[in-house]
Structure 1
């Protein structure tokens, strides 16, 4: 199979042969750039009330909302560039397929996993946006929400710490928050007539900063998606955004319909602001570490500031924090920053030569991710890829270039395993092996991390499996002469970790998701591939399909499919969990107020805090997370409950010292077709 590294190279080669539309940004981007919000390091203040580490999806939402109060000073430090110089690759949605910034430093962190024992021993790419806006700048723009069961399970996992604070993470609270982030626009008539998507405007926001809609053009073959699903026994959802996302749909996208450009955290939350003297954003500034004061507050360490630099080996500069440090470094970046700052598992920090400031075993643990693989067919019908390759005038229009793959379906266990009885047997086998799984599959020597695995494992099987999607199916139309139905695992039982082997933030962390370490995952994804094949053999879609290219006719038995998956599977790039919101006794890193255990004034706000995996791309839930976090920070609740600590840290910062921490990662998330042409990126983030 083609490796993801070779896939990236083929995408880059393709991009050099496909003409871009150089004046797109200047013609259609109506956002005003306000340079007074953007400063160079020498123009910064000596101290700020809030220092946000990471100018990605969540970081820029927080910066915008917190700085609404003109009496509060806010600094954002982003490791990557502003992105202004590559706006022609960012703004047109289709460019994420045909001329992507992924795999292209300095706009991608170009992370890689360690060799994955149960996935062919392969080292797999883990792209994350390294640019203002993070992964919301480079992803596939999918706006998909989790189910109410998943969000309420999140609430239940943290509720034992502080029931009142945990109420921020119920479905009702989440639903309100995610609607506040968006301005929804119904599909244009031509798009609706082709795709036949169903939606309920009441489930969406009307005054948020993020634009949410459907593409301005749909490839005609898109119209076969929903009828084919229904014919194959997959229900079609009339409203997949109100807490029940099972069934087929066309996902909404983060697109501005006034000009058919990408709507992302920078364009939506920062560039739309007037100049603010109390908000500064610095790009090209990698945070090297959090600096802690000698004194403590209520028995907890106090962050006095952060150290940052503009390049490896450059002079380390310091910014004093008056109130809080907020880590929004993304799924990989936030645990990385904590560990090089001396906060994390003692065994890991000792081995990396980092002085332990606070032993917190859960940092970097509970890492979860979505895995995906495609069933690919040849075709002679027009796809996005074939139209794009034609070079026609139409292929250069904003409407055409707003098209992104958005035909999806979330599949429940009963359909996936053909009957309720088969699914019940599968669940009971997972439950019966829970003890051995916890003792053998958790990559930590700490008992509290093992307890966290048990809690997530039990909650997933008992509360999420019965009602949520185990598999996502996705229709891909962006490769010339090919159509794919991708299957993606949504509820991984395999947990991995992120850890460090260097004290320098400039050295990437070790990322080990332990893909397929739990046998349930490959069985579930095998069933997904079988269902994807069923979709491909069902009318009306089947009339457009020719030969099955991948996996191919030689891959037929259950064993064949599992063996193929180990060498073909890729990631949807939806990592979460490495700074999990769980009780500290379960390997948690943050409490229900997003405050790091044992640190008086440090929070984490990004997808790393999600304690479970969602049947969704992670962008919409991360926007909702940032919306809720801003409310918590600006209107802190009174401390209550057990184990959550104080809800804010607003004490005066002690004098700074020097050290090292991480640059801003992008937020969540992306998705991979896994073939030889364009990359299929899903959110977030």
Structure 2
């Protein structure tokens, strides 16, 4: 049995940050176990390469939900990173801290997680290359890139149209004010993806007190009574064990952390007993309270060139590829969603209630089960979309088998509340209002979907049920809180009723943040290191 102070399960967004911080003093040893492999591949490191790895099983868990009655019984495809860096290695890189009200919600559920506590953590994480601002960090491990001088001309048209529709341009939505239309900041440096692995693990990999093991799939947590003492994992066809003198910390993300807890006997007793798993601790909220952002969009045919003309033809692909290889610039160095922003439709809302997306390229989403290359459409087109920031519908996940290699059941339960359904309708109406502004109206040939003939709320609602998509922000399945009756971990991320075991990843979010979830997930890893090191000092 291998012996370490800390065993960390999952080298994703939070796990990478946590492993780096726990070992930087040299005082403690840590084993970091990642089920996936190396992130040192071209398609991971190139920012726009996420279109290539969107269905790649070598770096992607490729989860599929159960049929959702609220989406006409369709399944949703949930890519999640199975690689060093986790989903930060395959995501769209959009960097959003969230709104202070998000953390007011967190602090109410778990003291110590309010904006005043987490803002300094975001600050120390960042290496922001945009205009100097006292709220933005520089010199931190995590690169954050300001893209506004590199976006496609059509993205500038979008910003102008939004302004004409009454939505002012915000030069930095991660600073004091979040609201407004914007170019999205991304986690990259020098045209290369700045995943959590590249930012935190690459500089730490030579430390003698940090052991990083890949292709190491953890199958269960080991206990002495109700104290976690290690883990069992499979690697290269062999079953191995590792012992933690201090703690085991789960950083598997919103799907894998609750799955591992259930496989190890911590979860809803009925679920565990149904699969013949002995109940170590009845914890009914493990896998519950699943939240996600659900989006919808409108396809437009354009009268002017879009990125389709640059990235669809083979010659265009070659030119873009050559430009990227030689200069690390061009569309391959950016994200598809170059623009977007945040708006507050309800004046009584405590923060933005709708996130906007603008992509100067269009592509057709394939049905679940089809594995296409994400290829631009053959015509001039672009996409404008949105997602409600604070959805109120919740779903759940649970193991479908005691086999740790079997994917769990995923029940998103989208659009289950009247609030969520109403916000989706409002989103379509806002997209059309922006599209009617002169700056975009002058470049739009036609609305392709849902189409100009889809006008009533009933028709729009039917379109949304058929075409809505996940924004890949699953969270809250091991949520944090003081009350063990409604949460899984306490404010110090310790699993209720268990000793020596914590969870530190997006699963602990008490509520879903406003915007993309990668920055908050990395922040959780950073904040967890503070708490663990404080407790280690006694």
Q: TM-score, structure 2 length as denominator?
A: 0.92
Q: Is the aligned partner of 1:496 residue 2:429?
A: no
Shift of 1:494: 0.7
Q: Is this contact kept in 1: 2:479–2:510, CA < 8 A?
A: yes
Q: Is the aligned partner of 1:276 residue 2:207?
A: yes
Shift of 1:62: 0.8
Shift of 1:332: 0.3
Q: Is the aligned partner of 1:49 residue 2:5?
A: yes
Q: Match of 2:373?
A: none
> With CA pairs under 8 Å and 6+ residues apart, which has the higher RCO, 1 or 2?
1
Q: Is this contact kept in 1: 2:97–2:520, CA < 8 A?
A: yes
Q: Is the aligned partner of 1:213 residue 2:213?
A: no
From 161, 168, 171, the counterpart of 1:228: 161
Q: Distance in 1 between matches of 2:517 and 2:452?
A: 34
Q: Match of 1:477?
A: 360
Shift of 1:315: 3.2
Give structure 1 regions of 4+ aligned residues with deviation exceeding 3 angstroms: none
Shift of 1:585: 4.3
Q: Is this contact kept in 2: 1:171–1:243, CA < 8 A?
A: no
Q: Match of 1:16?
A: none
Deviations 1:436-467 (A, max 9, x none): xxxxxxxxxxxxxxxxxxxxxxxxxxxxx712
Shift of 1:586: 4.3
Deviations 1:417-438 (A, max 9, x none): xxx5xxxxxxxxxxxxxxxxxx
Q: Match of 2:19?
A: 63
Q: Is the aligned partner of 1:266 residue 2:220?
A: no
Shift of 1:583: 2.7
Give 1:528-607 correspondences, 5 Å limit.
528-607=427-506
From 94, 107, 111, the counterpart of 1:155: 107
Deviations 1:217-245 (A, max 9, x none): 22111211222111101233344213531
Shift of 1:637: 8.9
Q: Is the aligned partner of 1:331 residue 2:261?
A: no
Q: Is the aligned partner of 1:346 residue 2:269?
A: yes
Q: Distance in 1 between matches of 2:292 and 2:485?
A: 20
Q: Is the aligned partner of 1:310 residue 2:254?
A: no
Q: Match of 1:359?
A: 282
Q: Is the aligned partner of 1:141 residue 2:141?
A: no
Q: Distance in 1 between matches of 2:245 and 2:484?
A: 30
Shift of 1:535: 1.0
Give 1:650-661 correspondences, 5 Å limit.
none
User: Secondary structure of the residue that 1:588 maps to in structure 2?
Assistant: coil
User: Secondary structure of the residue that 1:132 maps to in structure 2?
Assistant: coil
Q: Match of 1:91?
A: 45
Give 1:283-294 correspondences, 5 Å limit.
283-294=214-225
Shift of 1:590: 0.7
Q: Is the aligned partner of 1:125 residue 2:50?
A: no
**Structure 1 residues 504, 573: CA separation in 2 closer, same or farther (over 3 Å shift)?**
same
Q: Is this contact kept in 1: 2:133–2:175, CA < 8 A?
A: no
**Structure 1 residues 585, 49: CA separation in 2 closer, same or farther (over 3 Å shift)?**
closer
Q: Is this contact kept in 1: 2:67–2:73, CA < 8 A?
A: yes
Q: Match of 1:674?
A: none
User: Secondary structure of the residue that 2:204 maps to in structure 1?
Assistant: coil
**Structure 1 residues 127, 68: CA separation in 2 closer, same or farther (over 3 Å shift)?**
same
Q: Is the aligned partner of 1:256 residue 2:189?
A: yes
User: Secondary structure of the residue that 1:522 maps to in structure 2?
Assistant: helix
Shift of 1:102: 1.8
Q: Match of 1:374?
A: 297
Q: Is this contact kept in 1: 2:396–2:411, CA < 8 A?
A: yes
User: Secondary structure of the residue that 2:438 maps to in structure 1?
Assistant: coil
Deviations 1:336-393 (A, max 9, x none): 0000000001111111221101111110111010001111101142323321234346
Shift of 1:200: 5.4
Shift of 1:46: 1.4
Q: Distance in 1 between matches of 2:13 and 2:46?
A: 18
**Structure 1 residues 620, 243: CA separation in 2 closer, same or farther (over 3 Å shift)?**
farther
Q: Match of 2:173?
A: 240
Shift of 1:211: 0.9
Q: Distance in 2 between matches of 1:521 and 1:229?
A: 23
Q: Is this contact kept in 1: 2:275–2:401, CA < 8 A?
A: yes
Q: TM-score, structure 1 length as denominator?
A: 0.72
**Structure 1 residues 243, 594: CA separation in 2 closer, same or farther (over 3 Å shift)?**
farther
Q: Distance in 2 between matches of 1:585 and 1:212?
A: 37
Q: Is this contact kept in 2: 1:214–1:255, CA < 8 A?
A: no
Shift of 1:501: 2.4
Q: Is the aligned partner of 1:634 residue 2:533?
A: yes
From 193, 199, 202, the counterpart of 2:134: 202
Give 1:3-22 correspondences, 5 Å limit.
none
Aligned residues between the structures = 512
Q: Is this contact kept in 2: 1:102–1:129, CA < 8 A?
A: no
